[in-house]
Amino acid sequence: MANLRESELHYPLGDAVPTPGGMLELAPGVRWLRMGLPFALDHINLWLLRDEIDGQAGWTVVDCGVANDATRALWEQVFAEHLEGLPILRVVVTHFHPDHIGLAAWLTERWQCRAWISATDFNLARLASGSTVGMGGNTAAAFFASHGLSDEDSLAKIRARSSYYPSMVPAVPSSFRRLMDGLQLNIGGHAWHCITGYGHAPEHISLHSPSLGLLISGDMVLPRISTNVSVVDVEPEADPLSLYLSSIQRMLSLPADTLVLPSHGKPFTGLHARVDQLQEHHDERLADVLQACSAKPCHAAELLDLLFKRKLDLHQTTFAMGESVAHLNALWLSGRLQRRLDADGVYRFSGL
């Protein structure tokens, strides 16, 4: 969902973005890379941090891009041109989504280094890469159908999409180093604090460096679009929206002038304003959903027009369904709506 209050944010680099395979230096030893993505969201930002581990000089990489030949070729260009002849010493992964972890196995094998990631996301990536559980297939289709998605054509396509995750993440590193909330990494002489965020991925890690005034926010705080917050079939009664909102509220304890390095979009200042915008955005959507369900019982599919106000393709519809259920579950689990399973096998939510 586009940010209507984007003008409250400031982009210190203006419109400058790295070319694919290129690099922009944001601070001494902090480099911004960009890789393409085969989605409507067409790019991901990655970060190179000058580092030294056990006396060896090199680089820490944050996030990897999806596993395809185009991204591997861009990495080769980065290795040749932007590492100053030094090795990559570690690969930090913010969360298990394909654009972030895709090439982690390739990078860590090539450089004989460790992947650093939360245990929850590591284990979920291992599971999702090696199987079809939770990322498409019959259980996903049944979940969407139980929330009112009745278009047989769409459901058939969702059933057929069972290898979606492995196609972008064919392998996951076989070992890892565990990141947790509160852990401090020393990267190139600067402390970087791990901040866990919930609601977008099971245990997303953002990194904050007080001395550099930088926050690598991952997907938890993005300047232009709102972070996807979805309920998925493996945890149908989850409340990711409440978890997400409480996670971003914690970001308000960081300094207001922090330069935010997001996974998508451009580095920006205005972290506190952005958290307020995201809170307001979801508060408005929750109010809309509460009102609609109080007027008459609704299922998630029939709220898509209200929530998204635009035509969605199948890929967007599956994300949108997850978001719609997230708003409904937040209201249901906090006692503001009730839920019942009707004779047609569809959950409908209504006022108390």
Residue nearer to Zn ion on the CB measure, 58 or 98: 98
Where does this chain touch Zn ion (CB under 5 A) — which range of 69-77, 215-223, 307-315, 319-327? 215-223
E-assigned strands of the chain?
24-27, 30-36, 43-53, 56-62, 88-92, 114-118, 176-179, 184-187, 190-197, 204-209, 214-218, 259-262, 338-341, 347-350
| Residue nearest to Zn ion as judged by C-beta position | 97
Where does this chain touch Zn ion (CB under 5 A) — which range of 214-222, 241-249, 271-279, 282-290? 214-222
Residue nearer to Zn ion on the CB measure, 142 or 234: 234
Cβ atoms of 34 and 18 closer than 8 Å: yes
φ, ψ for residue 40 (rounded to 5)? -60, -40
285 binds Zn ion, rule: CB under 5 A: no
Cβ atoms of 88 and 58 closer than 8 Å: yes
Spacing of C-alpha 301 from chain mean position: 23
- Residue 200 Cβ, how far from Zn ion at the closest point, in Å? 6
Where does this chain touch Zn ion (CB under 5 A) — which range of 157-165, 211-219, 294-302, 343-351? 211-219
Cβ atoms of 278 and 233 closer than 8 Å: no
Report the alpha-carbon angle 94-66-16, nearest 5.
75
* Residues forming a β-bridge with 338: 350
- Residue 219 Cβ, how far from Zn ion at the closest point, in Å? 4
Residue nearer to Zn ion on the CB measure, 200 or 285: 200
- Residue 206 Cβ, how far from Zn ion at the closest point, in Å? 12
Residue nearer to Zn ion on the CB measure, 161 or 204: 204
φ, ψ for residue 341 (rounded to 5)? -95, 115
Residue nearer to Zn ion on the CB measure, 3 or 146: 3
Q: Which residues contact 96 (CB under 8 A, 6 or more apart)?
A: 117, 121, 122, 124, 125, 128, 201, 202
Q: Looking up tokens 């993005």, which residue turns up?
A: 222
239 binds Zn ion, rule: CB under 5 A: no
Q: How far is Cα 290 from Cα 150, in angstroms, rounded to an integer?
A: 23
Residue nearer to Zn ion on the CB measure, 264 or 348: 264
51 binds Zn ion, rule: CB under 5 A: no
- Residue 101 Cβ, how far from Zn ion at the closest point, in Å? 10
- Residue 228 Cβ, how far from Zn ion at the closest point, in Å? 7
- Residue 218 Cβ, how far from Zn ion at the closest point, in Å? 7
Residue nearer to Zn ion on the CB measure, 198 or 347: 198
121, 203, 219, 233: residue in contact with Zn ion (rule CB under 5 A)? 219
φ, ψ for residue 348 (rounded to 5)? -120, 145
Please give the residues from 67 up to 106 whose contact with Zn ion meets the rule CB under 5 A: 97
Binding-site size for Zn ion (CB under 5 A) equals: 2
**Residues of the chain by 3-state class (helix, strand, coil), percent to 5:** 40, 25, 40
- Residue 118 Cβ, how far from Zn ion at the closest point, in Å? 13
Residue nearer to Zn ion on the CB measure, 147 or 200: 200
Where does this chain touch Zn ion (CB under 5 A) — which range of 8-16, 213-221, 281-289, 319-327? 213-221
264 binds Zn ion, rule: CB under 5 A: no
Report the alpha-carbon angle 65-163-113, nearest 5.
35
Q: Looking up tokens 């945890």, which residue turns up?
A: 235
**Which parts of this chain interact with Zn ion (CB under 5 A)?**
97, 219
